[in-house]
Amino acid sequence: MYVLMGYSNSGRDIGLSHFLTEISCISKARIRQLATEAVDVKIDYESKYAEKLRQRALQEGVKSVEELKARVKTAKSSSTPLQPSNPPLASSTNTGSTSSPTTATSATSPAAAQANQSAPGAPPSSSAPALNKIMKIELLENEDPETIGKIWTECHSTKDCISAVIPGETYKTFFQRSQKYPMFIVPLMQPQGVEFYLLQFSYHQCVFTSLLEYKTRVAQARPYLTLTHYPELLPTKGIVLMRGELSEEPRVLSSADALFLALQMQQFYVSGGERKLKLVEAFHERPEEFDHHVLIEEMARVG
């Protein structure tokens, strides 16, 4: 699905092929080892975050962590949606030069207006910014999809974020599934074991936070990563642009972590085959059948 062009990490660009090579080397041995360890020795989240949990209990006016957990368990049943960063892209709209195609603009050209009108839009309540707020869409009118992809990649090559160019037909399938199955969990390898991250879709945005963060804070859960998909070029160029931004408050994930989570989302929702998609379906339709051990095993399967 994603043509992930690479990400910036301390000034060093790492392409997708290099990343997948690393995943391939790790997955056959290390991931299976982690999967086994996760079954036998679970991560002690309460010890890891003991002080944070105690502070949270004091803030909530409860006497103990156990009482806090009981309150969270009750609140969790409301399934309060996560909220993207506010605003997720506002901090980077003016990073380019005045002649750069990434400079913020009102984009009032006919082509920009047509792109906005014909793209699958989000409702007024969506916090996702329009592409014409961060790019001069009119400058792309005469460019082919491949060139646009290179421009998109170049303008993100020096930023601490990830980017992607997605084939239109693939995104249509992905978008339909994301609306049908708007929540899922994906595993992330950590030195102490496997940590689960919750992803939640809101139209063309997807936010990630740790499962512990969501269970502890529920409505106040902080998004650690926000992926924004821009469908404005879908009608005319047949592509969708994606940008992933990492939260700095707190900064929990690295660029490599963000890329891994985006790849896992892609794999489970559209490109990883029937086995992965069935796990997403089971998570929503047959939760009693959902097995996180199988989820970890599937993480090792690239493609």
Query: What does the pLDDT average to over 218-233?
Result: 90
Residue 254 forms part of a structural domain: yes
Give residue 218's pLDDT band: very low, low, confident or very high (50, 70, 90): confident
The answer on pLDDT for 201 being more than 90 is yes
Residue 141 forms part of a structural domain: yes
- Encode pLDDT of 151-198 as tens digits: 998 888 878 889 999 999 999 999 999 999 999 999 998 888 889 999
Residue 49 forms part of a structural domain: no
Q: Which of 124-128, 169-173, 210-214, 252-256 has the highest mean pLDDT?
A: 169-173
Residue 66 forms part of a structural domain: no
Q: What is the pLDDT of residue 90?
A: 30
Q: From CA 270, how far away is CA 170, in angstroms rounded?
A: 8
134-156: string of b/e by CB count within 10 Å (b at 16+)? bbbbbbbeeeebeebbebbbebb
Q: Which of 20-24, 49-53, 101-105, 150-154 has the highest mean pLDDT?
A: 150-154
Residue 55 forms part of a structural domain: no
What are the contacts of 97-106 at 24+ separation with CB within 8 A?
Answer: 100/155, 101/135, 101/136, 101/139, 101/140, 101/151, 101/155, 102/134, 102/135, 102/155, 103/136, 104/133, 104/134, 105/132, 105/133, 105/135, 105/136, 106/132
Residue 129 forms part of a structural domain: yes
Domain hosting 110: range is 3-42+79-299
**CA separation, residue 143 to residues 38, 91, 110, 206, 256 (Å):** 49, 27, 16, 28, 30
**Average pLDDT for the chain:** 72
Residue 100 forms part of a structural domain: yes
Q: What is the pLDDT of residue 282?
A: 94
Q: What is the pLDDT of residue 30?
A: 39
Q: From CA 46, how far away is CA 48, in angstroms rounded?
A: 5
**CA separation, residue 292 to residues 209, 213, 249 (Å):** 17, 18, 29
Q: From CA 296, how far away is CA 43, in angstroms rounded?
A: 14
Q: Are 195 and 43 in contact (CB under 8 A)?
A: yes
Task: Please report the sign of the dihedral spanned by the C-alpha atoms of residue 58, residue 59, residue 62, residue 66.
Answer: negative
Q: Are 126 and 202 in contact (CB under 8 A)?
A: yes
Both tokens of residue 66?
């156990």
- The structural domain count of the chain equals 1
Q: From CA 154, how far away is CA 159, in angstroms rounded?
A: 10
Residue 249 forms part of a structural domain: yes
* Of 292, 90, 91, nearest in space to 198 by CA: 292
33-53: string of b/e by CB count within 10 Å (b at 16+)? ebbeebeeeebebeeebeeeb
Q: Which helix (H) or strand (E) covers residue 19, if one does?
A: helix 16-26
Give residue 31's pLDDT band: very low, low, confident or very high (50, 70, 90): very low
Q: What is the pLDDT of residue 35?
A: 36
Query: Which amino acid, one-letter code, is at 12?
Result: R
Share of the chain above pLDDT 70, in %: 57
* 172 vs 45, more confident: 172
**CA separation, residue 161 to residues 1, 2, 12, 89, 108 (Å):** 18, 15, 12, 11, 28
Q: From CA 183, how far away is CA 194, in angstroms rounded?
A: 19
Both tokens of residue 166?
């997605």
The answer on pLDDT for 82 being more than 60 is no
